[in-house]
């Protein structure tokens, strides 16, 4: 070859990733059909508010039907611009407990028809004006009944390789907060409950579309209450905040918000010296000692489960070379470990969604007897600054 200077075009230096599907969401709610437009029991894939309005659901629809459907969807797309929302509207006779029930054709059907694409699902009531809630433990009894069903649904979805987080609208909050259900005692790690409202736009109506939009916007490791990124105000919304009992934050007495926070509820709040309203935290309905006590824990784990499964699927039913003593060869162990770890590192590590990962496969496991390979994946998550303590004082010199 003649002497020359060769230029080789490099690839991958920019670290570009394919757009994730982490923000794909679902909304299951009650409503009223529109002649020639929105039909009950039909799953719609929406990519903008205009698509919903093309089905005859606009602000006038909400007014005419004493409904909040347009409001909730508009809030989702206000927060998650460019998001994808699967929508299923059912009759107002369907309860939230029925919606969440894995044996009923509502949430289960929506998740199934979306083929596992939905990563977070919101359920809410949109009842007629004449609806009267039966209060149980300080909430609409229908919401209380739906909570364990939502957990059972999500647990089954995880087992069926469609991990999902469920957000419930906390309708019917009592004016008196004494005796309110403690969500930290519900053992429902896949579920979060929203009682916060936009007090000026929709007093007393849980801001479930706002919450769903915030979760959709956030990366899986991010706390939805992060002040630097997730302000709720915008387009004239969340100029004031309240609770689903109709009270504004200004009407609450000292200790009310602290009590609600301690019991694991989601609501909007202000911070002195910082404009806007923000979610108080990212609680799920389980014990604080749980690894999955917060939404970002659940979403990170759910995504990791999807990533690892996708990486290992091509090896399913493949050969496993063994040593003479029946143990797995180092090459077989190394190949499987590398597939899983590289998938986690490339998909989540590079995106800053996990701090580190590791995997261990015991070469001594008896795969000849069981045809099962067990791999233990360990993930170090991203931390969250829930409290920052700073000491400020005087010094003679610095």
- Is there a single domain that holds both residue 29 and residue 114? yes
Sequence-ordered list of residues with C-beta below 8 angstroms from that of 134, at least 6 positions apart, any chain? 140, 141, 142
Pair (107, 181) in one structural domain: yes
Question: 134 and 265, same structural domain?
Answer: yes
In a domain, 3, yes or no: no
What digits encode the pLDDT tens for the residues 137-163? 999 999 999 999 999 999 999 999 999
Q: Are 209 and 198 in contact (CB under 8 A)?
A: no
Domain ranges, residue 37: 25-285
The residue-averaged pLDDT of 187-209 equals 99
Residue 1: the pLDDT is 62
Residue 305, in any domain of the structure: no
Torsional sign, CA 102, 286, 204, 231: negative
pLDDT, one tens digit per residue, over 295-315 is 999 999 999 999 999 999 999
Q: What is the pLDDT of residue 10?
A: 55
Q: Please tell me whether residues 123 and 194 are part of one structural domain.
A: yes
269: pLDDT confidence band, cut at 50, 70 and 90?
Answer: very high
Q: What is the mean pLDDT of residues 278-295?
A: 98
The total domain count for the chain is 2
Rounded Cα–Cα distance for residues 134 and 140 (Å): 6
| Strand partners for 167 | 122, 192
Within-domain flag for 160: yes
Say if 190 falls within a structural domain. Answer: yes
CA distances from residue 322 to 312, 314, 332 in whole angstroms, order as listed: 19, 19, 8
Better pLDDT: 7 or 240: 240
- Quick check: is 7 in a domain? no
Looking at the structure, tell me whether residues 248 and 111 fall in a common domain.
yes
> Are 211 and 337 part of one and the same domain?
no
CA dihedral (374, 377, 378, 379) in degrees, to 10, reads -160
pLDDT at 254: 82
Strand locations in 65-224 (E): 85-90, 120-124, 135-136, 139-140, 165-169, 191-194, 196-198
Do 30 and 137 lie in one domain? The reply is: yes
Judge whether residue 16 has pLDDT over 50.
no
Query: DSSP string spanning 153-178?
Result: HHHHHHHTT---EEEEE-TT--SS-T
Q: How confident is the model at residue 197 (pLDDT cuts 50, 70, 90)?
A: very high
Same domain, 240 and 330: no
Q: Tell me the average pLDDT across 324-347.
A: 96
C-alpha closest to that of 77 among 54, 56, 113, 50: 50
> At residue 4, does pLDDT exceed 70?
no
Q: State whether 156 and 266 are in the same domain.
A: yes
- Work out the pLDDT band at 19, boundaries 50, 70, 90: low
CB-CB contact of 120 with 25 (8 Å):
yes
Give residue 388's pLDDT: 87
Residues 332 and 252 in one domain: no
Same domain, 227 and 366: no
The verdict on residue 117 lying in a domain is yes
pLDDT > 80? residue 166: yes
Q: Would 247 be classed as within a structural domain?
A: yes
Give the pTM. 0.94
Which pLDDT belongs to residue 391?
Answer: 87
Residues above pLDDT 70, as percent of the chain: 95
Residue in the structure block whose two tokens are 């006590």: 293
Report yes or no on 222 lying in a domain: yes
pLDDT at residue 14 in the model:
45
Say whether both 151 and 205 belong to one domain.
Answer: yes
- Identify the sign of the CA torsion 101, 102, 106, 108: positive
């Amino acid at each position: 070859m003649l002497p020359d200077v060769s230029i080789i075009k490099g690839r991958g230096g920019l670290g570009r990733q394919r757009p994730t599907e982490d923000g794909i969401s679902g909304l299951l709610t009650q409503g009223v059909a529109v002649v020639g437009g929105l039909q009950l029991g039909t799953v719609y894939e929406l990519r903008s508010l205009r698509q919903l309005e093309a089905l005859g659901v606009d602000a006038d629809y909400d007014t005419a039907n004493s409904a909040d459907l347009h409001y909730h969807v508009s809030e989702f797309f206000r927060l998650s611009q460019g998001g994808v929302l699967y929508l299923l509207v059912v009759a107002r006779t369907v309860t939230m407990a029925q919606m969440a029930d894995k044996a009923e054709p509502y949430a289960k059907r929506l998740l199934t028809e979306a083929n596992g694409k939905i990563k977070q699902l919101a359920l809410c009531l949109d009842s007629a004006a004449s609806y009267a809630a039966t209060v149980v433990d300080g909430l609409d009894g229908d919401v209380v009944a739906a909570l364990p069903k939502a957990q059972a649904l999500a647990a089954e979805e995880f087992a069926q390789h469609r991990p999902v987080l469920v957000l419930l609208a906390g309708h019917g909050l009592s004016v008196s907060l004494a005796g309110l259900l403690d969500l930290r005692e519900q053992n429902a790690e896949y579920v979060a409950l929203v009682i916060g409202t936009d007090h000026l736009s929709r007093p007393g109506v849980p801001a479930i579309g706002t919450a769903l939009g915030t979760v959709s916007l956030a990366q899986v490791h991010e706390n939805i209450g992060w002040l630097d990124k997730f302000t709720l105000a915008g387009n004239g919304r969340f100029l004031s905040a309240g609770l689903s009992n109709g009270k504004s934050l200004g009407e609450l007495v000292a200790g009310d918000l602290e009590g609600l926070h301690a019991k694991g509820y989601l609501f909007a709040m202000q911070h002195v010296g910082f404009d806007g309203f923000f979610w108080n935290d990212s609680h799920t309905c389980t014990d604080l000692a749980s690894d999955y006590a917060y939404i970002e824990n659940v979403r990170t784990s759910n995504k990791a489960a999807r990533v690892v499964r996708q990486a290992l699927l091509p090896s399913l039913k493949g050969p496993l070379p063994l040593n003479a003593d029946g143990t797995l060869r180092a090459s077989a162990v190394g190949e499987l470990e590398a597939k899983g770890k590289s998938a986690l590192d490339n998909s989540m590590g590079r995106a800053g969604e996990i701090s580190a990962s590791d995997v261990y496969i015991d070469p001594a496991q008896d795969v000849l007897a069981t045809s099962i390979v067990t791999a233990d994946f360990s993930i170090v998550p991203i931390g969250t600054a829930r409290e920052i303590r700073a000491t400020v004082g005087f010094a003679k010199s610095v």
